[in-house]
Amino acid sequence: MTITDPVIASERGSTDGLLSIRDLNIEFFARGAWTRVVSDASLTLKPGGSLALVGESGSGKTVTSLSILQLLPKNISRVSKGAIDFDGRNLLTLSESQMRNVRGGEIGMIFQEPMTSLNPVFTVGDQIAETVRQHRKVSRKEAWARAVEVLELVGIPAAARRAKDYPHSFSGGMRQRAMIAMAISCEPKLLLADEPTTALDVTVQASVLQLLRQLQDELGMAVLLVTHDLGVVADFCDDVTVMYAGEPVEVAPVDDLFGRPSHPYSAGLLRSLPQRTPPGEELTAIPGMVPQPDQLPPGCRFAPRCDFALAGVCDVEHPELVKLENGQLTRCIRIARGELSSGELVAAPLGTPAAHDLSTIATDVAEQNGSDR
């Protein structure tokens, strides 16, 4: 794989998408200093499209998605660089009252824990009607009617009656449906879904994803799905952005990401899926841990855990996100230079299988722990 035209992704940053995040830096204040937890994050979402933001804990995927609606705690966090263009405006330049119109209006959001996101002392119908009245000039009665209508739309049986119930009498799957109903009640152009099915059982997850797909078709709504579950990504999304240690490392259409990953980290995630190892054999694992934001290695952030890292190259220069000939974006220097192919990434034995050679792992784990602190 070679690069014909080394386009840096940020230059590609355009306003053709519904949502376009460009070169976003987010910093958090901790122990007396500002630490960058997201750096140069860029992503584009087409109207009606679905994009997955994938990564392990600490990759910055949730922080990135929360920053879109400016939901990060103001006193300890700041966006120090970049733009979040949504439907022709940079959301970062809007006032708090303008943002309130965007939240729940043009952009809906659902979270992992449906119970903590619903207010236990108001009925489900009241909470949805309140959202509707916040964004539309309608009477209480009309807002209530809309609440019942969206509850029906998300498949709550006897919606008119259930709208009068309190959240505690809903099951986990029903609560997440109610959250989705609230999020879509004002026909948003974009739905942010942060681990929407992680707390749910698999059979419930399947029906919630089916519902989201159906709503996306009917309402023409775009979905940004934040998840760590590659199965959900394969099931639901058109495009994928893989994040590692606060920055995107690969951007690709879903079939290409799974078929020919172009970053050793993406390939490592795929290979560590239990489904990719025959039963009874040792699972592959990526050795080591995600580095802390204030302990980032020089050069490529994945290099210390990468089987393909080249001393003098990968540990020196911090790589840019580069567009490959096939359209995929990667932050791997060796892939970009054509020294490594996707085929090699998926074929080579990955990492040191844990418990195989315990002394090696012991050193790995211990060293990692040492560098954490």
Binding site for another protein (CB under 8 A): 56-57, 157, 171-174, 201-207, 209-210, 228-235, 254-255, 258-259, 268-270, 272-280, 282-286, 289-290, 346-347, 353-356, 358-359, 361-363, 365-366, 369, 372-373
Residue 82 CA to residue 341 CA, distance in Å, equals 32
Question: From the CB of 21, what's the least distance to another protein, in Å?
Answer: 24
| Smaller CB separation from another protein, 80 or 295 | 295
State the nearest-atom distance from the C-beta of 368 to another protein, in Å.
8
Residue 231 · residue 269 · CB < 8 Å: no
Tokens of 183: 């999020």
Work out how close the CB of 73 gets to another protein at its nearest, in angstroms, rounded to a whole number: 23
| Least distance between another protein and beta carbon 53 (Å) | 15
In sequence order, the β-bridge partners of residue 84 are 21
Residue 232 CB, nearest approach to another protein (Å)? 6
Q: Which residues contact 50 (CB under 8 A, 6 or more apart)?
A: 216, 222, 223, 224, 225, 236, 237, 238, 239
- Tell me how far the alpha carbon of residue 70 is from its chain's centroid: 16
User: Does an H or E element contain 28, and which?
Assistant: strand 19-30
Task: Provide the angle, in degrees to the nearest 10, between the axes of the packed helices 172-184 and 124-135.
Answer: 20
Residue 164 in tokens = 């009068």
Closest CA to 149 of 139, 137, 138, 163: 163
Neighbouring-strand partners of residue 34 = 29
Among residues 132 and 193, whose Cβ is nearest to another protein?
A: 193
Cβ neighbours of residue 362 closer than 8 Å, sequence gap 6 or more:
none
CB of residue 48 to another protein, shortest distance in Å = 18
- Residue among 283 and 316 whose Cβ is closer to another protein: 283
Q: Which is nearer to another protein, 186 or 300 (CB)?
A: 300
Instruction: Give me the least distance between CB of 56 and another protein, in Å please.
Output: 5
Of 76 and 347, CB closest to another protein: 347
Using the minimum distance from each CB to another protein, give the nearer residue, 71 or 354: 354
Handedness of CA 272, 273, 275, 281 (dihedral sign): positive
Q: Classify residue 6 by burial, with Cβ atoms within 10 Å: 0-12, 13-18, 19+.
A: exposed
The residue among 130 and 235 lying less far from another protein, judged by its C-beta, is 235
Q: How far is the CB of 209 from another protein (least distance, A)?
A: 8
Instruction: Select 73 or 279, whichever has its Cβ closest to another protein.
Output: 279
User: Based on the number of CB atoms within 10 Å of its own CB, is 262 exposed (0-12), middle (13-18) or buried (19 or more)?
Assistant: buried
Half-sphere exposure at residue 198, Cβ-oriented, CA atoms within 13 angstroms? 14
CB of 273 to another protein, least distance (A): 5
Question: Min. distance of Cβ 203 from another protein in angstroms?
Answer: 5
Nearer to another protein, 134 or 207 (CB): 207
Report how far residue 42's alpha carbon sits from residue 20's, in angstroms, rounded to the nearest whole number. Answer: 7
366/364 Cα distance (integer angstroms): 5
> Is the Cβ of residue 15 or residue 253 nearer to another protein in the bound state?
253
- How big is the CA angle at 104 (ends 174 and 243), to the nearest 5 degrees? 85
Q: Helix (H) and strand (E) counts for the chain?
A: 15, 12
